[in-house]
Chains A and B, each alone.
Chain A
Amino acid sequence: MRRSVALLLGLLSTATMAATDPRTVPTKLDPAWQAKTRELFKQAIEIPTVHHRGEMPRMAKLLGDQFRAAGIPEADIHVMPYEALPGDKTVALIVRWRSPKATKKPMLVLGHMDVVEAKREDWKFDPFVFREENGYFLGRGTSDMKNGDVATTMAAVKLMSQGFKPNRDIIFFYSGDEETNGRGATLGASEWRNLTEAEFGLNADGGCGSYDREFRPLGCGISTAEKTFQTYFFTAHNPGGHSSRPRPDNAIYDLTDALKALQAHRFTPMLNETTRGYFTKRAKQEGNNALGQAMRRWLANPNDGQAADEIEANPLEVGLTRTRCVATMLQAGHADNALPQTAQATVNCRIFPGVQPKDVQAELQQLAGPKVAVTPDPNYIGLPTPPSPLRPDVLKAVTQAIQAIHGPQMEVTPVMSTGASDGSFFRAKGIPIYDVDGSWGISPDDERAHGLDERLPVRAMYDDVVHWEMIFKSLAG
């Protein structure tokens, strides 16, 4: 559930310098480690870790073997089996890189090994065959988030090979069901807490940097607040019958009426401290254009719904002004030649922090009407989470790493994440989590997480290893 990389924090109105294509800038990772990184990335992508495919143990072994080969003792490598969705037997991997002389409490590094379903017929290429093409790596998981798994693992292995000794334990936690119901993170934050207890955590599931199509840096957002993830089902029932004699009422049409209402619906706009800071900065960047003016109007008067609507309608700001709910799946009927007895849509909501999922359900039920029942997904009940106070050491470490790779124009700013990730389960249980991965892309062309022909610039993969090296050195050295 990776947040999109486009955060548009750069110097749009002032960035007039001729920009270089960031994909063509040489990486700072040396060629020997490029080869190792590429090989691990290829192997990781080619394990189709979609739910219910039973591939997670293979993936956990692949990552565990890297740590093992670098000298982490067997006793500190834990493969934790658990059941995610009903019948989905999966595993989490927990690795502890011990400090010989710890002076600080441990630090957690979060990632997930599973990927969203990708159907061969929908893609141009086989999503589970790793490809390199025109400066990109392609395949399911290249941006969400086997890149983060590979970058954090390779950075640790590289530092170990150089003899780096952390001054705090670094705990790597890779879950096996982040994309489905987050059971691994729930267990990691509770039952397995003796293995994961940490002062704070860094989540590699959420890159922060991006460039626009003119190659201007758009900035890097570190999420300190996140929307609550909750899926609802819209369900219509009907007695059905023989399709040669259609009835006036039809479960599919009842559902499509409700979806039409959902499509047109807009939730009430809201502001919080994080987004107020974000829009204040953005308004300055946008200057006097229409978007900048709308942002200023809204900041001056949070009840100016029209201004908020204008902001929300901008593709770069989607989801930042309010709760959003969107239909993601459909299922109806039981035979081609029978009237449907059931029609169901999956509606995925990203709920503004502070709003209760129950209230969203009531609002959805209101617009769906009496013929369609709205119920929450029993497999995943969203937990509203408190914002994590931003730590100066984390902000400093991330800013240094980001600017070492992208230059000072790439600003780092606290933001609200519209997605939810494993981080929310740890936040809810008292471990502050910051999404600080160093991967990046061209916005919006490379925003393909969960979508078709997912990809990542080759340089972004390699530089991410360098990024995590710098962060480990800064926060544990």
Chain B
Amino acid sequence: MRLFAFALLVSAATPLAAAANPVTQPSKLPADWQAKSKALFKAAIEIPTVAGRGEHKRAAEWLAEQYRAHGWAPTDIQIHPHKGDKGEDAFTFFARWPAAKPSGKKPILIIAHMDVVEAKRADWVLDPFKFIEKDGYFYGRGTSDDKQGVIGTSAALFKLRADGFKPNRDILVYYTSDEETEGNGARLGAGELRQLLDAEYALNADAGGGAFRADGGALGFGIQTAEKIYQDFKWTATNRGGHSSRPRPDHAIYDLTEALNRLSQHRFKPAMTETSKAYFTARAGQEGTSALGNAMRAWVANPADDQAADAIENSELETGTTRTRCVATMLEGGHAPNALPQKAEANINCRALPGTTLAGLQAELEAIAGPKIKVVADGAFKPSPPSPLRADVLNAYTRSVRSLYGDATPIIPHMSTGATDGLFFRQVGIPVYGVEASWGISPDDERAHGLDERIPARAFYDNIVHWQNLIRDLAGK
């Protein structure tokens, strides 16, 4: 579930001076590696790794073949089977590049996912599982979520190895095949395979990323350091019911309705995290002296200024960034049109700030719902500690992006309101940083999960350069 940083950044009031169209600028990746990585990308896109199509094994074995061909020992490559969406066979891919000059530092883990969201031929202009290059773009399902991440990181490692780079720590790669559905591959990695994947931190190629305006202004690049907690709750009202010709004063649907009306009015307490402080500081710079920019500055200056936080939250660009949000997504009630309901139930979907506890969230929802509503958490609570803003990672990311796109390119740490595989590793104490540098033109290229998904060819190639930069920086010094 990749959430490009685009949507967060489109409102920039003071974009950089217009430059040439970024899509048509030459990439810094040498031509021979452009050809090699394009061939890899084509092969990956043309394996339709949609849940239920039985292609996950082929994808994992194809990856293993590529890693072997580029110098990885067969003993450093593993494929782990597990159950994915609706019990189908899923496979995670693991590869280790052992430190050539061990420094004693713990390994770095690189994560991404091979599976893609369903894409129907009938809905697309182009065949979603045929790799097509057209007008400076690569088209196909997975070109922006997240095969560009899998191939970007793999091609970077292949080139580093070919260039004779000697890592001073183990570099581990772990690609899953059910990120878009169950996340069982990530659970396996953070659970049973915890020792195998033990790393100082993980770099996630399924988060981060940048955006440009069509006229060339860089809107900025995001580094994802936190994810909100996903948690559903069932709100249930029960009643003895009866015949609808004789309505009773107490009524399950109206009890639920009253509770939902309170929920629709409720606003959780704003809270500033280390990530959001850095995020809003950077965003305030972009927004300038607009009302939104002023609110951001006011909140950063005084995290107790709830009014400022409310003004930020009300901007549709920033929804969910200042606090926990819970919203009603499903309703079901009653058993017959001519009977008073015995039960009415709502699904309340919460995206809680990192650090939120189940007990705290449950208590707050119960207070909103009132005594007539039973509030039950649906699904296991998955806490999400924010990853500390590490200077080495942030600096490596900033240096790499600016070396590619100029020193004035805004770098913005942010928290995802959605969830990725990274969540599972954060839970077991491995900090995760979403450090992709692939990008698109906002909003035209925001097509992950949507129709005619695409990526600028230059963004794909430059992302390979970027991952080489990161690895050289973090595992070579």
Q: Do A and B come from one complex?
A: yes
Give residues in A with beta carbon < 8 Å to B: 1-4, 116-119, 122, 179, 227, 229, 231, 242-248, 250, 252-253, 255-257, 259-260, 263, 315, 318-319, 324, 326-340, 343, 345-346, 348, 350, 377, 417-420, 447-452
Q: Are A451 and B339 in contact (CB under 8 A)?
A: yes
- The B48-78 residues at the A interface (CB cut-off 8 A) are none
Q: Is the interface of B mostly helix, strand, loop or mixed?
A: mixed
Can you list 19 pairs linking A and B with CB atoms under 8 Å apart? A2-B243, A3-B243, A4-B242, A244-B320, A244-B417, A247-B316, A255-B331, A256-B260, A257-B261, A259-B253, A259-B257, A260-B257, A319-B247, A326-B247, A330-B334, A332-B330, A332-B331, A450-B336, A452-B241
Chain B min CB distance to A134 (Å): 18
| Cβ-neighbour of B334 out of A118, A229, A248, A328 (below 8 A) | A328
Q: Are A451 and B319 in contact (CB under 8 A)?
A: no
Q: Are A333 and B241 in contact (CB under 8 A)?
A: no
Residues of the B chain whose Cβ atoms lie less than 8 Å from the Cβ of A346: 334, 337
Residues of the B chain whose Cβ atoms lie less than 8 Å from the Cβ of A377: 337
| Cβ-neighbour of A452 out of B319, B325, B330, B342 (below 8 A) | B342
Q: Are B327 and A243 in contact (CB under 8 A)?
A: yes
Q: Are A340 and B232 in contact (CB under 8 A)?
A: no
Q: A118-B335, A328-B337, A329-B337 are in contact. Are A243 and B329 (CB under 8 A)?
A: yes
Residues of the A chain whose Cβ atoms lie less than 8 Å from the Cβ of B248: 315, 318
Q: Are B338 and A450 in contact (CB under 8 A)?
A: yes
Q: A343-B331, A345-B253 are in contact. Are A260 and B261 (CB under 8 A)?
A: yes
Residues of the B chain whose Cβ atoms lie less than 8 Å from the Cβ of A326: 244, 247, 251, 340
B side interface size, CB within 8 A: 53
Q: Are A451 and B245 in contact (CB under 8 A)?
A: no
The A/B interface has a contact count, at CB < 8 Å, of 196
Q: Report the Cα distance A179→B245, complex, angstroms.
A: 13
Q: Are B418 and A242 in contact (CB under 8 A)?
A: yes
Residues of the A chain whose Cβ atoms lie less than 8 Å from the Cβ of B320: 244-246
Q: Report the Cα distance A256→B245, complex, angstroms.
A: 22
Q: Are B340 and A328 in contact (CB under 8 A)?
A: yes
Q: Please indicate which of the listed interface residues A3, A231, A260, A348 has the most CB atoms of chain B within 10 Å of its own CB.
A: A348
Q: Report the Cα distance A250→B319, complex, angstroms.
A: 14
Q: Report the Cα distance A243→B339, complex, angstroms.
A: 32
- B246: CB under 8 A from chain A? yes
Q: Are B245 and A4 in contact (CB under 8 A)?
A: yes
Q: A179-B336, A318-B246, A326-B244 are in contact. Are A244 and B328 (CB under 8 A)?
A: no
Q: Are A244 and B418 in contact (CB under 8 A)?
A: yes
Q: Are B340 and A246 in contact (CB under 8 A)?
A: no
Q: Report the Cα distance A260→B265, complex, angstroms.
A: 14
Q: Are B342 and A122 in contact (CB under 8 A)?
A: yes
Q: A242-B418, A336-B329, A338-B329 are in contact. Are A116 and B339 (CB under 8 A)?
A: yes
Q: Report the Cα distance A252→B260, complex, angstroms.
A: 8
Q: Are A243 and B335 in contact (CB under 8 A)?
A: no
B295-315 near A? 1/0 per residue, CB < 8 Å: 000000000000000000010
Residue on A nearest B328 in the bound complex, by CB? A252
Q: Report the Cα distance A402→B180, complex, angstroms.
A: 67
Residue on B nearest A263 in the bound complex, by CB? B254
